Amino acid sequence: MKKKIIIVILILLLIGVGVWMFLSKKTNNQEYVPQEEISDEQLRQTIVSLYFKNKNTGELESEGRLIDAKLLLNEPYKTLMKLLIEGPKNEKFEATIPDGTKINKMELKNDILYIDFSKEFVDNQKDGTEEESATIYSIVNTMTRLTEINGVKILIDGKADQKFKDGKINFSDTFIKLNK
């Protein structure tokens, strides 16, 4: 008799647990409400890729940067160049644009971006072909991420026939992204 009572109690207990689980699932099927609403400001942000020199390897690598998309709508080329001039946020990278460099003018002609820099671009450049190449291709790789740009032409104070101090890299050519 005791066994029958224990079995009946266990069955009732199992039925009770089953009913409780069924009812609790039904009440938990409510719509998911995020803890934080997405603001208009967050909706306007986009990620851009800026190329900087890796301090350890010496190679150019991209750094993703979250910026307001409105900046790219108004002045995309100037915005990207200003970010390159400011330098990286990540400590493993180093800036490639020489200190004091200013942008005189930027203009897209066909698929070539013409960038007119101040003389500091040449005067304050670190010596060596590797450093000079990193400077040029950080600009080229960053700018050619934009689909309308296939190359970059560099001018110094409005002159196209300039070069770095050691004369190894000359600005008379148009620089095109290197495929790596």
Instruction: Report the distance separating Cα 27 and Cα 45, nearest Å.
Output: 37
pLDDT (tens digit, 9 = 90+) per residue, 8-28? 676 776 787 777 776 666 555
Question: Is the pLDDT confidence value at 153 over 90?
Answer: yes
The three-state secondary structure class of 162 is coil
Give backbone dihedrals phi and psi of 106, rounded to 5 degrees, phi first: -135, 140
pTM, rounded to two decimals: 0.74
What pLDDT, on a 0 to 100 scale, did the predictor assign at position 55?
93
The mean per-residue pLDDT over the stretch 55-80 comes to 90
Q: Are 116 and 105 in contact (CB under 8 A)?
A: yes
Q: Mean pLDDT throughout 23-36?
A: 55
Where are the extended beta strands (E) located within the chain? 45-54, 60-68, 93-94, 103-109, 112-117, 151-156
pLDDT of amino acid 34: 55
> How much is the pLDDT for 75?
87
